[in-house]
A and B are shown apart, each in its own frame.
Chain A
Amino acid sequence: MKRFSTFNAVSLTAGFAFLYLPILLLILYSFNAGRSVAVWGGWSTKWYASVFSNQQLLDAAWITLKVAFLSASIATILGTMAALALARHGRFAGRTLFSGMVYAPLVMPEVITGLSLLLLFVSINVDRGFWTIVLAHITFTMCFVAVVVQSRLVSFDRSIEEAALDLGCTPFMTFFRITLPLILPAVISSWMLAFTLSLDDLVISSFTTGPGATTLPMKIYSDVRLGVKPEINAVCSMMVAVVTVTVIIASIMTKRQEVERERAERLAQTTS
């Protein structure tokens, strides 16, 4: 039994308040009829309406979603392969370099990654735009997928894979029939992570974009530099709402699975 002292309770409350207050205030003020943050002008949803009539904003949102979906999906595939290689292939030639390259973007300042990718695109004379952003996003989100999937693979009971091989399953099929179903939660959550990171990215997108490919963060950023705009509050609140709902649904589903599983295990033990 752990003692849950007042110190712990205070730290938890203070910490979470610090984390959440700004966002909650943002959401609150997106309903503010007045423009100024300091003055409360009554409840209104006009800023939300304004967002939906702002074509530029909507275009940017659509592009951002497409980029995020594409790059997250490809990054998940590549990141899972990288994680497999690092967790299962032992000491292969060039492992240190590979490991370094896969994990460096985790900590690399985005300005460096952005600049280097832009210079690459220029040097191979590729038109910059939607696809260069996608390529850039895949590159920097891949490492997050690799981290999550690798840690799951490391804690995986390998004798299950060996049992599949022993029973006649080729290594290729073993991955798809045995390993993948069991690491699926990690793969899915890393997809969601890559999706959010892409959705969110400003710096790398700015470096690697081209004409006609403005992402939502880029639009928000350029609008914000000109001063606080209430529509931005509305847009941000909507983004927060979407992400929150998704995460809550996902965690409720996994929680339910876990509770059922524990119940079944307990039952089995009593009937042995």
Chain B
Amino acid sequence: MTNTNHRWIVRAIPYLWTLVFFLIPFIIVFKISLSSPEIAQPPYSPTFDPFVDGWSETFARFAEFTSANYLRLFDDSIYVSSYLSSIWIAGSSTVMMLFIAYPLAYGMARAPKSWRPTLVMMVILPFWTSFLIRVYAWISILSEEGLLNSMLLSLGIIDEPLVILSTNAAVYIGILYSYLPFMVLPLYSALEKMDESLIEAAKDLGCTNIQAFWKVTFPLSLPGVIAGCFLVFIPAVGEFVIPDLLGGSDTVMIGKTMWEEFFNNRDWPAASAVAIALLIVLMIPIMIFQNNQAKQQEAGQ
């Protein structure tokens, strides 16, 4: 058909790039997670070539692999509780986010047509300003001498400053705030595409406003809901900045644990094992997300 000579180059270059910078690193992480700390400290020779070293050497290296790191994940309670609390925090934030984001996205989709591009831009704008800045802004608001407390104190609503910063509550607020555009945009996109006449048809057939919403609008917006939930949940599980800046020492999230393991304890294999375990935990949601995206693409064509 067309000149196929050039075509393969177009996909070969990004393919190579992602293989080298995405896939291979993961394989390395996996390998490191199976090593003991002495071997894993740099400089190390991570490649083992059967042709150079001979098969016996290769097998010997395999024998050095230990699953000690992974067993430690189960033994040491901090890891298990980190995973569980990360999933819990991310999960409940996602659900709460849905309740905030849906009305906002709905309002945007029902707004006059000329307003909508501006509204979309207004939702995206905070996203285009630094993530770090936005989290930082909340520190000034939530700290004991912060804005919220001084306002509440001066209005006489409370007697003592509320301790919000350095607690899990601050982490929830941080996640809700920072990830909101990720939930709003897919929802808005799905709601905007929806045909108004479907709701009119439902009402014509006897539905009340609320029934029309649950029977028509919400089911049709489901792809957007799914996309939004996964776009929030998956990265939030591994979130580091928010628990570190807004959470306290009793806030255990796996991203923070891994960072500490790596930078503070300098235990690379442990960090790797944590990473791989996290990846396994997230594998199913990631696959569901990819599946949903693929279906969306096909539907679009």
Contact = CB atoms under 8 A, between A and B. Distances in A.
Whether A and B touch directly in their complex, counting CB atoms under 8 A apart, is answered as yes
Interface of A: 2-5, 7-9, 11-12, 14-16, 18-20, 22-23, 25-26, 29, 36-38, 78-79, 81-82, 84-85, 89, 92, 94, 98-112, 115-117, 119-120, 122-123, 125, 135-136, 138-139, 142, 150-151, 154-155, 165, 170-172, 192-193, 196, 199-200, 202-203, 206-207, 217, 220-221, 224-225, 228, 232-233, 236, 239-240, 243-244, 247, 251, 255
B249 to A, nearest CB: 13
Contacts of B3: 170-172
A123 B44 contact: yes
A104 B29 CA distance: 16
Contact of A117 (B6, B25, B181): B25
A104 B286 CA distance: 8
A205 to B, nearest CB: 11
A12 B10 contact: no
B6 A172 contact: yes
A117 B26 CA distance: 8
Given A25-B137, A38-B145, A112-B238, A85 B10 contact: yes
Contacts of B118: 251
Nearest to B161: A38
Given A11-B104, A22-B177, A36-B145, A220 B271 contact: no
A259 to B, nearest CB: 10
A206 B294 CA distance: 33
A201 to B, nearest CB: 8
B198 interface: no
B68 interface: no
28 contacts: A5-B110, A7-B103, A8-B107, A15-B104, A18-B100, A18-B177, A19-B123, A19-B126, A22-B137, A26-B136, A37-B147, A38-B150, A109-B237, A109-B255, A109-B278, A110-B235, A119-B28, A119-B272, A136-B21, A142-B18, A150-B297, A155-B300, A171-B2, A217-B130, A217-B132, A228-B139, A239-B129, A251-B121
Interface of B: 2-3, 6-7, 10-11, 13-15, 17-26, 28-29, 32, 42-44, 46-47, 100-101, 103-104, 106-108, 110-112, 117-119, 121-126, 128-134, 136-141, 143, 145-147, 149-150, 177, 180-181, 184, 196, 230-231, 234-235, 237-241, 245, 255, 258-259, 262-263, 268, 271-272, 275, 278-279, 282, 286, 289-290, 293-294, 297, 300-301
A221 B11 CA distance: 38
A111 B259 contact: yes
A216 to B, nearest CB: 9
Interface centre among B3, B26, B239 (most CB of A within 10 A): B26
B252 to A, nearest CB: 14
Contact of A84 (B10, B241, B282): B10
Contact of A123 (B2, B46, B239, B241): B46
A224 B237 contact: no
Judged by DSSP, the binding face of B is helix
Contacts of B106: 8, 11
Given A11-B106, A29-B140, A120 B121 contact: no
A-B CB proximity, top 3 nearest: A109-B238, A15-B104, A85-B11
A202 to B, nearest CB: 6
A5 B103 CA distance: 12
Contact of B275 (A23, A116, A232): A116
Given A119-B29, A171-B6, A172-B3, 18 more contacts: A3-B110, A15-B184, A18-B177, A19-B126, A26-B140, A38-B147, A82-B18, A89-B10, A98-B14, A109-B237, A112-B278, A125-B43, A135-B21, A139-B21, A142-B17, A207-B262, A221-B241, A236-B130
Nearest to B232: A107
Contacts of B128: 192-193, 196, 243, 247
B14 A236 contact: no
B262 A115 contact: yes
Contact of A224 (B43, B245, B282, B290): B245
Contact of A4 (B100, B111, B143): B111
Interface centre among A12, A23, A111 (most CB of B within 10 A): A111
A196 to B, nearest CB: 5
A78 B13 contact: yes
Given A228-B143, A244-B129, A111 B275 contact: yes
A115 B272 contact: yes
B126 A112 contact: no
A86 B286 CA distance: 19
Contacts of A22: 134, 137-138, 141, 177
A251 B119 CA distance: 12
A17 to B, nearest CB: 11
Contacts of B121: 247, 251
